[in-house]
Amino acid sequence: MNEPLAERVRRRVRDIPDFPTPGILFRDITPVLADAALFGDVITHFRQRFAQARPDVLVAIESRGFIVGAPLAQALGVAFVPVRKPGKLPAETVRIDYQLEYGTDALEVHRDAIAPGQRVLLVDDVLATGGTAAGCIQLVRQLGGNVVHTGFLIEIAPLGGRARLHDLPVESLLIYR
């Protein structure tokens, strides 16, 4: 098939109006995940795009970021580090509270998950306002890690998330404008 990968993904993403709250159009990636060949092509695409960044560690954000992050870390041959909401990780953690458009939130990572100087690839399913990704970048930097690239399956460009990522390289497979 010669159709570009982004268009193949776009055709499979399901729009769910008014989820999780009225006025939100949720971009559901589960149909992409249900298509094994397509999901495999997504991971292959990202592996090819991120190999030259030479990450030591792939950090993925709870929870759908894990779905993309774990197989991508395996494909790149690097460590996988989950970043989670408070209280979900069993060992000693480092926490960051960060600002969202409407309120605050927090993220945690194991204190020993990222060594100072390690090159970090940050991955999530969707880049929207960028608040969660920016908070995660701060958390990685607090541990001494060096975020070298960011990657997202979907980017919702009108929400301006890219601008919050501290001028880091951003790779988004599918961009809604």
Binned average pLDDT, 10 residues per bin, the chain of 177 residues = 88 96 93 98 98 98 96 98 97 92 88 98 96 95 98 97 94 97
Look at residue 58 in the predicted model and tell me its pLDDT: 98
Residues designated as active site:
64, 101
What is the structure's pLDDT at 57?
A: 98
The domain limits of the chain are 5-176
6 three-state secondary structure:
helix
Q: What is the pLDDT of residue 160?
A: 95
Class of domain 5-176: alpha beta
DSSP structure string for 9-54: HHHHPEEEET-SSTT-EEEE-HHHHH-HHHHHHHHHHHHHHHGGG-
Tally of residues, the chain: 177
